Amino acid sequence: MVREANVKQATAEKQLKEAQGKIDVLQAEVAALKTLVLSTSPTSPTKELQSSGKAPFKKGHARNKSTSSAIGGSHQDLTMVQPIVKDCKEADLSLYNEFRSWKDEPTMDRASPFLDKIYREDIFPCLTFSKSELASAVLEAVENNTLSIEPVGLQPVRFVKASAVECGGPKKCALSGQSKSCKHRIKLGDSSSYYYISPFCRYRITSVCNFFTYIRYIQQGLVKQQDVDQMFWEVMQLRKEMSLAKLGYYKEEV
């Protein structure tokens, strides 16, 4: 009986050692799979391992591209995909030389090379409207500095001439002929007529007026705090505003 008990004990100890060996092998395999998954994915597979008891790695496994990972490699990838950009500018030498030549002897004559280019590229397109006759009158008033713009409804009655003729209306633009909400109206020189204009047309007119105002200041010698380079870039900024206006971009008072 003692011998039989010893045999059973030896057999049990042998089976225990074999079982422990199998457990050690399985633990080693699980650890290896964990390492493999962590090295190929920025997210932890712990939850999947706990729920299924199996490693989530399988053939055709794709990387999780979650941006919430704190792994440095993912941030480097984002930096490469989304480069940092900044606004830059560089003077066109032809434009700059034309401006300097004009600045030496400033004139409001549109035949000068400097102004001729701006008329063709910015001013004419900006002040081209479907009502061409009125558009020409607007340009002439801007050149002569005799155009006035006022908000609709804010002009006291006593300052409005009884003979004034209002063209267009609060819901129709006199320059475009389109049905638009008109919050301003213009008056040309000594004319007694008022013309309702839409916010878009108003912005196109004011962008041209701002340009003429600045170059008049230069011509009259009133710009004393800026050197030639600063004046040039201010002119380019005003041209940029005219370009945006003629393309349909505008700002509206709310």
Closest CA to 210 of 133, 125, 122, 129: 122
Could you tell me the mean pLDDT of each successive run of 10 residues in the chain, 254 residues long? 70 69 66 61 48 50 49 56 86 94 95 96 96 96 95 59 60 92 92 92 96 96 94 97 93 76
As a dihedral over the C-alpha atoms of residue 201, residue 205, residue 206, residue 209, rounded to 10 degrees, the angle is: 180
* Residues 6 or more apart in contact with residue 5 via CB below 8 angstroms: none
Global confidence as pTM: 0.64
The count of other CB atoms within 10 Å of the CB of residue 78 is 11
- Cα separation of 110 and 118, whole Å? 9
In order of 101, 148, 234, the CA distances from 229 in angstroms are: 13, 31, 9
Long-range CB contact pairs, 10-18, < 8 A, 24+: none
Closest CA to 147 of 215, 108, 197, 75: 197
Nearest-Å Rg of the Cα atoms of the chain is 39
Closest CA to 185 of 158, 145, 212, 154: 154
Domain ranges of the chain: 93-146+200-247
Residue type present at position 253:
E
Q: Which residues pair with 214 in a beta bridge?
A: none
Residue 112 is encoded by which pair of tokens? 């000068």
